[in-house]
Amino acid sequence: MLPRTDDPSIAETRAWVERVVIGLKLCPFAPAPALKGLIRYVTSDAETSEALMEHLATELQNLVSAPPEELETTLLIHPRVLQDFHDFNGFLTVADELLRVLGHEGEIQIASFHPNYQFAGTEPDDIGNATNRSPYPTLHLLREQSLSRAIDSFGDTASITAANLVTLEKLGPKGLHALMLGGPP
């Protein structure tokens, strides 16, 4: 299944990656694969967790079987299922189990993004939650080997979270909202 290039969820997610994730430097590892065109954006038409699990299995296989110089990472956007953050968060346990069953544990990692993402121990309106707030529920499939190389070359990854919080606090909720909509921060 090839991703549709006219899919609004892909366009909005790509814009979010470019403006927020890369533009605000929230993830120092994102620019390289983006510039090289090695990010696969795909929208799932799944309307149930079970259907999403099947699509996830397919995308995991696509990523594993593609050479890293052709496909580095996949963003599996699923706008029709797991809209509730707690349901989405619960699904991540099942997704990690799928990784194990398929034999990809230690090879692929699944990161999570959601419009209502909330880190444990935070309030829903905590600006720090914005680091993982995407336009749609999204599963980010990453090659662990590539992630390890990026971390090794970056150095002190402990500073990333603190720097992100400072950036988001300076921007504030209104600036972040404007940036998400395509305007200036």
d(CA 118, CA 54): 26
Stated pTM of the model: 0.92
Q: Domain spans of the chain?
A: 8-180
What is the percentage of the chain residues whose pLDDT exceeds 70?
96
For residue 1, what is the DSSP state? -
Helices (H), ranges, 48-157: 49-65, 85-101, 144-154
Residue recorded with tokens 């909720």: 173
Q: What integer pLDDT is reported at residue 16 of this predicted model?
A: 95
pLDDT in tens, 78-135: 999 999 999 999 999 999 999 999 999 999 999 999 999 999 999 999 999 999 999 9
What's the Rg (C-alpha) of the chain? 16
For residue 138, what is the DSSP state? E
